[in-house]
Structure formats: C-alpha cells, structure tokens
Structure 1
Amino acid sequence: MVVPGLGTYPRHLLANTMAFNVLCHLRYDLLAPGGPLPFELPPPDDALIAPAVEFMLAGLPQMQGHELDAIVAEPLVLDLTGPGGTTVTVLPAQGPHEHLRVVPGDTDATTRVRSTAGNFVSWGTTRTPWRESCEITGDPAAAEQFLARLDIV
C-alpha cells in the first residue's frame, strides 16, 4: 500500500496508520495537558500503543529519506518499554541509494536509547522533547544526532 508522501507499507499496516493517527492526535494534540480539551482518558494500553509504534517503526526509514540515513553510521538499539513496548535495532544504510533499516530485536550495538513506547509516540513525532523521555547508553553523540533529527510524520 502506498501512502502518498509517507512511503510504501504492507497492507496489514493500514489499520495501524489509523491507530497511530487517533492515538497521536487525540492524546497529544487535543487532550490536556498538551491540547485544549480537559478530558481524562484511562492510560493507554498495549492494544492502543503497539499498532501506532509498529507503524512508526515501519515508517522511520521512509519518512525522512536520506536525512537520517546520513547520520546513522553504527547500529542503534531502541528499547521501548511498557505498553506497546518492543526492541528494535536501527541499522545503517547499506549503500548510497538505500535507506537505514529497522529490524526486530537487540543486536550487540553499543548505543541504546530507552524510553516508554507511549512516550516514543510523542517524542518520535516531535510533540515533546526527546530529552525528557530518553535514557542513552553507549555513544551519546551518535544517539543525540539521530534523536535530534527524528520526526516521524
């Protein structure tokens, strides 16, 4: 399935794009504390966060194109915890016309970024600063370059 301006995705992720939009826009754009509506919802659970995170990780290599490809020189582990949590490794692009890759699991990468998956939805879309939610181990400069440029649409 082609999503204009955002890339090409397996068809099963169509529902995840909707889950991402509802979670992201409702929780972070419309509801307080970030938005104007003072309604309270229960904390999001795995069923709400996991599809959004899956879509975001699938889109990460495509949405920013070569901007991120140029700064990821070594594998970087994203360890997303709590509801919707997963661990993936961001691998450098394999050639000048390739994008970086996001693969499931933890490699032996020395640089790691740890955050809750719920916070990833917020900082991965630049709604909140990543510095408030991420713990970096390994090479802070490599992680900070990646995190500073990450802006999943």
Structure 2
Amino acid sequence: MSLQGVAATESLMKELSELAHGLSADEWELESAAVGWRVQDVIVHLGTFCNLIADPEMTMPENAPSTSERLNDALVDERRHWTAAEAVDYYQAQSNAALATLAALQGPEYSEATIPLADLGTYRLAELSNAFAFDHLVHLTSDLLAPHGPLDRTAIDVDAARVGPALDWMLAGLPNMYADALREPLTRPLGFDLTGPGARSFVISWGGDHLLVDVAADLPADVATSSTVDFLRWSTKRSDWRHAVTITGDREFVSPVLDTINII
C-alpha cells in the first residue's frame, strides 16, 4: 500500500490550494514553465487529473487522444475559457474528492487490484496515490514556483515524506513507460545513486523481455549519480541531465540511456 503517498498528496494539495487562492489576476495568466500552459492551465490540469480518479466516467473530449500527454492537453484546452474563480473552485472540489478516493483505494478490497493507464502502463490501485504526489510535486516545484516557474513565492518543503512517494511512482513507471525505448541503449545493467531527501539507489537491467528495477542490487560499474530533487527534473525532461548528473564508468554507454528516460 502507499499510505505515504496519500499523506504526501494531501500535504501537496494543501500547498497548491493555498497558492491558487493567493494568486493575483495577472499571475493566473503568466506562462508557466510547462510549455504552452499558463499558471491557470497547470492548476486546471491537476484538477482534471483529480477528476479522473474521483469520477472515472467523466466526459472525455470528442475524439480523445490515446496518449496521456495529448489527453492532458485536450482536457486543458476544453477549459481554457474558464475564469480564475472557476479554475480554483474546480481544483478544490476535485482534489477533495480525489483524496477521499485515494485513501479508500488503500483498503484491502482495492489495493492490489490493477488498472491500465493508457500508454503509461498498468499499476496497482494503491500506487495511484504516489502518482498524485509525483504530479503535484513536479508541477509545483518545476512549473509554477520560482526559480524554475514564474511565481515568486516561498519555496515548499521538498522533504523525504514528499519525495519518497514521487520516487516510488517514477521507479514503478520506468519499466511501464519506457521499456521499449530503452531496449537498444540499455545493453547492460546501469546503476542510479540518488542522494538527498528520500535517497535511494537502484539498478535497471533486462530480465528477458522485461525491464527490471532492482532497489536491492549492488551498484554495477556504470552509475549515474544525482540528487533526488534534480532527478525529479531531469528524468521528466524539465532540465538537461548533463547539468545534474555525475557519471561513473562508461559515459558513452550511460549517456544514451539518460537521454531516453522521460518519466510522465
């Protein structure tokens, strides 16, 4: 189960709600660091994500895209005409409903059941709370708040309690989202050593046709080292890994693997 994911999501939803309620009219219209989305669009996106889990039968756009990123764009596009008040009310209502749903999914009757998430792969219902912690944390720290985003506010705490569930989602996502893309560059095991809040190490390798993520394995000769906070950015393509990663071993092997990783 991921009760930690529920707790992290709850605290991050509170952060986002307080931020949204304090924005000026001009700030709602600022371009975020998420290309093509204003501050308002990022908050609406997080609301639609909450809506999807709170109401799996929510109405989809006509001819809805089959990939998660294009679906996110379509859902935001349908709501671009909203006022700021409509956007913040929508986020508040949907986040409250989603949090209750995520908590319920930790129960024994639901937690081990699985759900397919379009091109993102298949996950246990209990893991969805980690996805919400990840999405809120990345959008807040990388797309909305300075120094990376346009909003000059006090930085939020990026501690182990918040980073841990986000990393859990990312490691669960690696073999689901990018196994095929990694087939060519990942010719042998590659280790990752993440330092700072929620520090952990893991190894990715092939087990037959399956990409394996092993948090218990000893690190091999080739290792990519970065902070957990930097990993949140470069592995989601919000920054270039070359500014944040130290490579031990064969750089010509490691570089194409890091270029390929793009966690959603």
Q: What TM-score, normalized to structure 1?
A: 0.92
Deviation at 1:108, TM superposition (A): 4.8
Q: CA deviation at 1:148?
A: 0.9
Cα root mean square deviation, aligned:
1.3
Deviations 1:37-70 (A, max 9, x none): 1112244100111111110111011112311122
Aligned to 2:4: none
Give the partner amino acid of 1:103.
Answer: D
CA contact (8 A) 1:20 1:51 kept: yes
Counterpart CA distance in 1 for 2:195 and 2:216 is: 13
Which of 10, 13, 38 lines up with 2:152 in the alignment?
A: 38
Q: Is 1:63 aligned to residue 177 of structure 2?
A: yes
**Offset, 1:33:** 1.6
Amino acid at match of 2:159: D
In structure 1, runs of 5+ residues without a counterpart are: none
Matched ranges for 1:44-55 at <5 A: 44-55=158-169
Partners of 1:101 and 1:65 lie apart in 2 by 9
Matching residue's letter, 1:142: F
Structure 2 distance, partners of 1:53, 1:142, is 24
Aligned residues: 150
Structure 1 CA distance for aligned equivalents of residues 121 and 194 of structure 2: 23
The answer as to whether partners of 2:202 and 2:219 remain within 8 angstroms in 1 is: no
Could you say which residue in structure 2 is the equivalent of 1:114?
A: 225
- Would you say the 8 A contact 1:122–1:128 is kept in 2? yes
Amino acid at match of 2:127: L
Aligned residue for 1:77, secondary structure, equals: strand
1:138 aligns with one of 249, 254, 263 = 249
For structure 2, which runs of at least 5 residues remain unmatched after alignment? 1-114
Contact 1:78 1:89 in 2 (8 A): yes
Shift of 1:93: 4.7
Structure ID, larger Rg: 2
Runs of 4+ in 1 over 3 A off after TM superposition: none
What TM-score does the superposition give when structure 2 sets the normalisation length? 0.54
Cα offset, 1:4, TM superposition: 2.0
> What secondary structure does 2:146 align onto?
coil
Quick check: 2:203–2:219 contact (8 Å CA) kept in 1? no
Distance in 1 separating the partners of 2:243 and 2:149: 18
1:3 aligns to 2:117 (yes or no): yes
**Which residue of structure 2 aligns with residue 78 of structure 1?**
192
1:111–1:143 CA contact under 8 A, matched in 2: yes
Amino acid at match of 1:13: E
Q: Which amino acid aligns with 2:153?
A: F
How far has the Cα of 1:17 moved from its partner? 0.2
